Structure 1
Amino acid sequence: MPLEPTRRNALHGFAAMAVVIGFDPLNRLWVTDDGRQEGGARRAASDTLEALPPLDGTLLVDEASLAAAADDYGHIVHRTPSAVLRPGSVADIVAMVRYCNARGLKVAPRGQGHTTYGQAQTEGGLVVETSPLDRIGQVSGNTVTVGAGALWSSVAKATLAHGLTPPVFTDYIELSVGGTLSVGGLGGQTHRHGSQLDTVTELKVVTGAGELITCSPTRRADLFRAVLGGLGQCAIIVGATLRLVTAPETVRHYQLPYSDLETFLADQRRLVTEGRFSYVEGQVSAAEDGSFTTYVLEAVAYGPPAGPAPDDTQLLAGLRHDPAGAQIADMGYYAFLDRLAAGVAALKEAGLWDWAHPWLNVMLPGDSAAPLAASLLQDLGPDDVGPGGVVLLYPLLRERLRQPMLRTPDDPVPYLMSVLRACPPGDTATVDRLLAANRTAYETVRDSGGLQYPVGSIPFTAADWRDHFGPAWPQLAAARKCYDPRGVLTPGQGVF
């Protein structure tokens, strides 16, 4: 539904917010109906004003909107756009991408702003908020079609009403569908079902040329493959059709402690290759001496109707964890999906949500995962992770990851390692130190055949991106040339 026009005068508490009416190409500034240019300067009379296309939503140039779009969850990079589009319809995105394309203005889609290194920002360009595109359609058979701004938590609630669920979730489920489908979407279910990319049957996108296109594995397949995990370089995702599977009513959650890294990794590998559990992850935490040498294997068995009643003896047979420290609990399925909610609320209450998050996310080749992980963990201290920070380490199955833009090491069982750091945002020295450490860690992983998982904060050049995409680079470059020929989309990634 288009937004009501009267919303223009209520946004951000302004009683009579000035409305953008056009663009002054001479000064390259937006012009409002009160005669002011974006930035506050009074616009001189000019015949160069280029009128704004009719919109169902609102184009914002107030300081609060621009400042919000110039920040993200990382709180490290700050690029201020010249305007923010809060669309009232997909047609608004089509119109404004065409408008910006004709004037050489960069465009960056932004979902929940959970990027950590300015990926959804653009200096002087247009940020497109996708959060208004949050419609969740009717479940049809084993699929559901949703807007790019729909949260995975909302999708889960809607589909659970039909006894169905998306197969794969990131651990934090308050992320947008369009956001995770642009990068990958990995989770503990990935060894069973692939990434969230592998659960998509159709996409609706707006290309960099401003075309609204529906694509799938059999329709505009080149665009479909380039958009899924393509970091927003060819098109803006505005809708997706997702495959669903039978949902359990309850799950059994296992937390199994280990004191030896190689044993921990080997047991994880055994579980994902045998497929005993529906979900397998793992965490590394600091021991009393500050070293990251405490390991917990996290596994979940789905109960009826998605699977049989869990049998502890059968599921845990042959594992070499410390039985005395094992924690086993039954819980509702949605409670499991939303298990981070209480912790996130606590972080927000303590103000830690607003800290800087220079995250490191890398994929390790399975055959060298133990020495690589040991090397990276050896360099970690509590100050390198910070309060509320987490270290994740768990295996994937490469054969399940079928989308070409999601790059993985050439190994049947690669491991995802995520050092989810936090530090005070004003402590630029620590932020710079951790960014440098991320780059060093990445180079160590790269030289051993590993890759980055591109949701973190690793300083990267265009040459690095070409190396990263490797054999998929020609596909991405060709799709970029075809669907975003002027190169206006998502400059914050730095890919081209």
Structure 2
Amino acid sequence: MVHSFPNSSPPFVVLLMISFPICCSSSWPWTSGTLPSGDLPIRLRTDLDAVTAASNDYGNLVHEPPSAVLYPSSVQEIVDLIKLSNNCSTPFTVAARGRGHSVRGQAMAGGGVVVEMAALSRNGGGIRVSWSPSLGYYADVGGEEMWADVLRVGLEHGLAPVSWTDYLYLTVGGTLSNAGISGQSFLHGPQISNVLELDVITGQGDFLTCSKDNNSELFFAVLGGLGQFGIITRARIVLQKAPTRAKWMRLIYNDFTMFTRDQEHLISTNINGPNYVEGSLITDQSPPNNWRSSFYSPSDQANILSLLLAKQGLLYSIEVVKYYDNTNIDTIDQEVELLVKDLNFIPAFVFKKDVSFVDFLTRVGRGGEKEEETQTGSWKWKHIHG
């Protein structure tokens, strides 16, 4: 039996994929504002504002205007749209759009229909946290939901997903259609490795539940399938007990061999190893503090920039994090010291912070020019619009 927590959100409605081309035709089989689908009213917008918004994405490299934009109020409307495309004498392309963070037009449908999945979030989408003896803790999540909200709801129960992306204001369906990779992937795999079950609308308009044991070919095709094998309408995501704080460090190198060797050492540490490891380059074109996060103080930045000038404008950085809570609060400093003791970073260039688990996970995107602040309980989330 599955036990749902009291006060949990109701079951979500839908999960998005980045792109789902039904066919290659760009012809448009109607001109009115309603699809010719019999007695089912499907709301379409063909006005300039809707079409323009659906013609661009974060990459700003591809621009393909659709003929219409669908704002669905239910999964059934998306099913009917796909069936209509299959049955229409002049088929059309359908693409599902999340937060518009694709970079090469994957969420566009030139001459076809773009489905704005965020409309489902305004009509009963949600996140439900549950537990079962066989599966443990998990969350059923609508793909239009952002990972930041999955974190928020999970932490209400002391739980969190095990794998993330660096930027949490992306949709669940959007990252699952790619892979969902971040500094936790060496430990837990990408986000697609931490999904238990999916509901999927296929290219024929069939609605199927799949997992590694049920309709497995569809399950593994859709996860990381770039939207080419179906539209996911539910994702069941693995949860575990959430830590409360993070020891967050950045280590600076001027030797590439030492830099890569230490990365390999860190991700191979099996006992008391790190929870997050990422490497990056620092150049005079990518200053220490950038869009990813404002980690360094002004004096730290000045020191790094001076070193950068002395080292022909190229340095390397390892970002390493170790989580903790009340169970190891008395030993965490010793654990961190042991973790970095044998590493070969420049001795004077190790920088440390002690932050909350939430502050670390939501570090990317803070301070953007366009922010929408919302208050939920004791949480303040800054939603950054790309």
> Could you say if the C-alpha distance between residues 200 and 26 of structure 1 is closer, same or farther in structure 2, counting changes exceeding 3 Å?
closer
Identity of aligned residues (%): 37
1:264-297 CA distance string (max 9 Å, x none): 1110111001141000012211133896621111
Q: Distance in 2 between matches of 1:179 and 1:306?
A: 35
Which residue, 138, 155, 175 being the options, matches 2:128?
138
Which residue is equivalent to 2:322? 301
1:382-439 CA distance string (max 9 Å, x none): xxxxxxxxxxxxxxxxxxxxxxxxxxxxxxxxxxxxxxxxxxxxxxxxxxxxxxxxxx
- Code of the residue aligned with 2:189 in structure 1: it is G
Which residue, 110, 116, 125 being the options, matches 2:103?
116
Once the two structures are TM-superposed, the CA of residue 32 in structure 1 deviates from its matched residue by 3.3
Which residue, 241, 251, 254 being the options, matches 1:246?
241
Looking at secondary structure, tell me which structure has more helix per residue.
1
> Could you say if the C-alpha distance between residues 26 and 324 of structure 1 is closer, same or farther in structure 2, counting changes exceeding 3 Å?
closer
1:114-162 CA distance string (max 9 Å, x none): 0111111111111112223443333112101010101000000000111
Q: Distance in 2 between matches of 1:296 and 1:213?
A: 45
What are the residue-to-residue correspondences of 1:316-335 with 2, within 5 Å?
A: 316-335=340-359
- Structure 2 residue 112 is the aligned partner of structure 1 residue 100: no
Which residue is equivalent to 1:471? none
Once the two structures are TM-superposed, the CA of residue 229 in structure 1 deviates from its matched residue by 0.3
Which residue is equivalent to 2:295? none
> Could you say if the C-alpha distance between residues 240 and 51 of structure 1 is closer, same or farther in structure 2, counting changes exceeding 3 Å?
closer
Which residue, 225, 230, 236 being the options, matches 1:230?
225
Once the two structures are TM-superposed, the CA of residue 96 in structure 1 deviates from its matched residue by 1.1
Once the two structures are TM-superposed, the CA of residue 69 in structure 1 deviates from its matched residue by 0.7
Which residue is equivalent to 1:184? 179
1:154-173 CA distance string (max 9 Å, x none): 00000011111111111110
- Structure 2 residue 207 is the aligned partner of structure 1 residue 212: yes
Which residue is equivalent to 1:50? 36
- Code of the residue aligned with 1:322 in structure 2: it is I
TM-score normalised per structure 1:
0.59
> Could you say if the C-alpha distance between residues 54 and 273 of structure 1 is closer, same or farther in structure 2, counting changes exceeding 3 Å?
same
Which residue is equivalent to 1:74? 59
- Structure 2 residue 145 is the aligned partner of structure 1 residue 150: yes
Is contact 1:261–1:293 with CA below 8 Å preserved after alignment? no
- Code of the residue aligned with 2:183 in structure 1: it is G
**Runs of 5+ in structure 2 lacking a partner?**
1-9, 11-25, 132-136, 284-307, 372-386
Is contact 1:136–1:144 with CA below 8 Å preserved after alignment? no
> Could you say if the C-alpha distance between residues 189 and 217 of structure 1 is closer, same or farther in structure 2, counting changes exceeding 3 Å?
same
Q: Distance in 1 between matches of 2:183 and 2:166?
A: 8
1:243-276 CA distance string (max 9 Å, x none): 0111111111011111111111110111001141
3-state SS in 2 of match to 1:140: strand
> Could you say if the C-alpha distance between residues 218 and 187 of structure 1 is closer, same or farther in structure 2, counting changes exceeding 3 Å?
same
- Code of the residue aligned with 1:254 in structure 2: it is M
Q: Distance in 2 between matches of 1:239 and 1:113?
A: 20
- Code of the residue aligned with 2:147 in structure 1: it is W
What are the residue-to-residue correspondences of 1:16-27 with 2, within 5 Å?
A: none
- Code of the residue aligned with 1:297 in structure 2: it is I
Which residue is equivalent to 1:484? none
Q: Which has the higher contact order (CA 8 A, sep 6+)?
A: 2
Which residue is equivalent to 2:3? none
Once the two structures are TM-superposed, the CA of residue 30 in structure 1 deviates from its matched residue by 2.8
Which residue is equivalent to 1:259? 254
**Runs of 5+ in structure 1 lacking a partner?**
2-24, 34-48, 350-496
- Structure 2 residue 265 is the aligned partner of structure 1 residue 281: no
